[in-house]
Amino acid sequence: MHSPDTAIEKILIIEDEPDIRANLQEILEISQYKVTTASNGAEGVTLAKEIQPDLIICDINMPVMDGYEVLESLQNMPETSLIPFIFLTARSDLQELRQGMELGADDYLIKPLNIQDLLVSVRTRLLKHQRFVEQIQQVEELSQAIQSQVKETESHVQEQEHLLQVKDKLLSKILENLSDSVSNIHLIATMLKKDTASVNQSKYISILESEANRQLKLLNDVIKLQGLLKPENVDILKRYDLLN
């Protein structure tokens, strides 16, 4: 019996004998399953694609398409390939049953049917399929979580690589400019110190030394700026257009 909060499971019966078909339908509907019936294999395949049942009960010996052809046809279609499939057979012939199981049937029932055997088989196959679906969903969720983590890691690595590139470019450019400037300033200052004939020697030396100190201060500021170029500061740097 199903609880009010449980979705009613759909069962498709494919059986060419009207009395057996009606008897199966009555038993399953009393057990609160939603039942759809088909009188031959071709009709059953069409209905299976249309209603996507939770389980199919199918006779083996039928006109138009026999049970083997029905099962093979359903398994060749992605939308019906995973639906649990139970064979009905009037004979307990082992070769016939083996053929059905090799084709991918989940279970088989021998006519005349025992009601308890029928309900147990149906319930067992539905529960097994439900667990299988849940496992697939868990795998898909895990896969999505892994993909998300991989993307996040890749993004973090790319940001770090970009920051390293910015640091390298900034340092190279600043060091190149400041090295030349500071070298020139100190060279001129040294030359002026040796030129005792210059009236404005002290004034020029003072200006040059002041410029050298300014350049050195700028270099120190740039070095401090490098400390800000860290992954955790990327959003702040982008906000003020300091990181392109």
Give the CATH number, domain containing residue 82.
3.40.50.2300
* CA 57-85-139 angle, 5° bins: 140
- Looking at the domain assignment, is residue 79 inside a domain? yes
pTM higher than the cut 0.75: no
| 44 vs 37: CA distance, rounded Å | 8
| 217 vs 41: CA distance, rounded Å | 89
Torsion on CA atoms 212, 217, 222, 223, rounded to nearest 10? 110
Residue 36: burial class (beta carbons within 10 Å; 0-12, 13-18, 19+): middle
Structure tokens at 152: 């996040």
Q: What are phi and psi of 238, to 5 degrees?
A: -70, -35
> Is there a single domain that holds both residue 54 and residue 106?
yes
- Looking at the domain assignment, is residue 195 inside a domain? yes
> Is there a single domain that holds both residue 30 and residue 89?
yes
Q: Which of 113, 132, 161 is the last residue of a domain?
A: 113
> Is there a single domain that holds both residue 162 and residue 100?
no
- Looking at the domain assignment, is residue 126 inside a domain? no
> Is there a single domain that holds both residue 16 and residue 86?
yes
pLDDT of residue 45: 96
Enclosing domain of residue 96: 10-113
> Is there a single domain that holds both residue 156 and residue 214?
yes
> Helix 18-30 crosses helix 115-194 at what angle (to 10 degrees)?
60
HSE-up of 69 (CA within 13 Å, CB side)?
A: 12
> Is there a single domain that holds both residue 29 and residue 102?
yes
- Looking at the domain assignment, is residue 134 inside a domain? no
Comparing 150-154, 201-205, 210-214, the range with the smallest average pLDDT is 201-205
pLDDT of residue 5: 42
- Looking at the domain assignment, is residue 132 inside a domain? no
pLDDT of residue 141: 82
| 75 vs 84: CA distance, rounded Å | 10
How many domains is the chain built from?
2
Residue type, 93: D
Local confidence band at 74 (pLDDT 50, 70, 90 cut-offs): very high
Cβ distance 35 to 11 under 8 Å? yes
* Ramachandran region, residue 104 (left: φ > 0; alpha: ψ -120 to 50; beta: rest): left
Verify cis geometry, omega within 30 degrees of 0, for the bond prior to 112.
Answer: yes
> Is there a single domain that holds both residue 105 and residue 162?
no
- Looking at the domain assignment, is residue 131 inside a domain? no
Contacts of 33 (CB under 8 A, 6+ apart): 8, 9, 10, 11, 122
| 224 vs 238: CA distance, rounded Å | 18
Local confidence band at 143 (pLDDT 50, 70, 90 cut-offs): confident
pLDDT of residue 111: 85
- Looking at the domain assignment, is residue 47 inside a domain? yes
- Looking at the domain assignment, is residue 224 inside a domain? yes
Local confidence band at 102 (pLDDT 50, 70, 90 cut-offs): confident
> Is there a single domain that holds both residue 185 and residue 104?
no
Higher pLDDT, 85 or 217: 85
Q: Is the pLDDT of residue 36 over 60?
A: yes
Q: Is the pLDDT of residue 107 over 80?
A: yes
Higher pLDDT, 43 or 196: 43
pLDDT of residue 4: 38
Using alpha carbons, list the distances in angstroms from residue 234 to 43, 148, 238: 63, 20, 6
